[in-house]
Amino acid sequence: MKKWFYPLGLVTLLGFATLFINFTRDEIIQLDHKMANLLGGNKLIIAFHYLGETKLVVVVMLVLLVYLWGRQKNYRGMLFVLFAVGVGNVLNQLIKKWVQRDRPDVPHQLESFSFPSGHAMVGLLYVFTIAFFLTEEQSNKKIRVLVWSGAVILTTMIGLSRIAEYRHYASDVFAGWMVGYTWFVIVALWYEYRKRISKTNKI
């Protein structure tokens, strides 16, 4: 990962904390309404919510785990996946139960809490985890940029789909992205630190 990825994790942590403290303020509520009016009902955007569904995430992560185990014997990488996506999902649920923000008031609404968006947070974590391992040993800069650009676009669309189908407020989605990215950086820092230690011990 580029070095500037890491300090950005601190920025997103501060951004999450700001939303956590202020999501009931009038300015944030107005932003939520504006985003809902802008994106609400957009069928193209709504379609991306399938990419953040739990069943798909589990299947894709199992495939990645098998690849890391069978092809690379990368056991540390397997822990990366479990920490980033598995523990990240648990963290999302814990924050939701702590905050206990109700979802937007629409018919047939989901019964779970709203802040932060699980699709936004876990969607970022699993898509970024795939991008991380696709580019870990990739020396071609154009390919790295292409992979990460695609990951950012997919993550953005998965999050926006929850606003478009009125499952979450925009502030829930923004918070999910922010805390998700912060957690991803923490796991990546651990992984790369352990990787350096391992190489040093082999010398």
What is the per-residue pLDDT across 133-172, written as a single tens digit (0 to 9) for each? 999 888 898 999 999 999 999 999 999 999 999 999 999 9
2 versus 131: which is more confidently predicted?
131
Is residue 201 one of the residues assigned to a domain? no
Domain membership flag for residue 187:
yes
How large a percentage of the chain has pLDDT more than 70?
97
- Look over the chain and give the mean of its residue pLDDT values, rounded to a whole number: 91
Residue 200 is assigned to a structural domain of this protein: no
Does residue 182 surpass a pLDDT of 80?
A: yes
Report the percentage of the chain scoring pLDDT > 90. Answer: 75
The stretch 178-202 carries a mean pLDDT of: 86
Residue 61 belongs to domain spanning: 9-192
120 part of a folded domain? yes
C-alpha 104/C-alpha 54 separation (Å) is 21
Measured CA distances, 174 to 1, 42, 111, 178 (Å): 22, 19, 20, 6
* Cis peptide, bond prior to residue 116, ω within 30 of zero: yes
Following CA atoms 136, 139, 145, 148 in sequence, which dihedral angle do they give, to the nearest 10 degrees? Answer: -10
Chain centre to alpha carbon of residue 83: 13
Tell me if 203 is assigned to some domain: no
What mean pLDDT do residues 181-199 have? 88
Contact, 115 vs 99, CB < 8 A?
yes
Does residue 4 carry a pLDDT above 80?
A: no
pLDDT of residue 60: 93
Q: Do residues 45 and 161 lie in contact, with contact meaning Cβ atoms separated by under 8 Å?
A: yes
Residue 56 has pLDDT above 70, yes or no: yes
pLDDT band at 202, cuts 50/70/90?
low
Query: Given pLDDT bands bounded at 50, 70 and 90, which one contains residue 71?
Result: confident
Count of domains for the chain: 1
Range with the poorest average pLDDT among 30-39, 84-93, 189-198? 189-198
Is the pLDDT at 5 greater than 80, yes or no?
no
Residue 14 has which token pair? 């501060």
Decide: pTM greater than 0.85: yes
Position 201 pLDDT exceeds 90? no
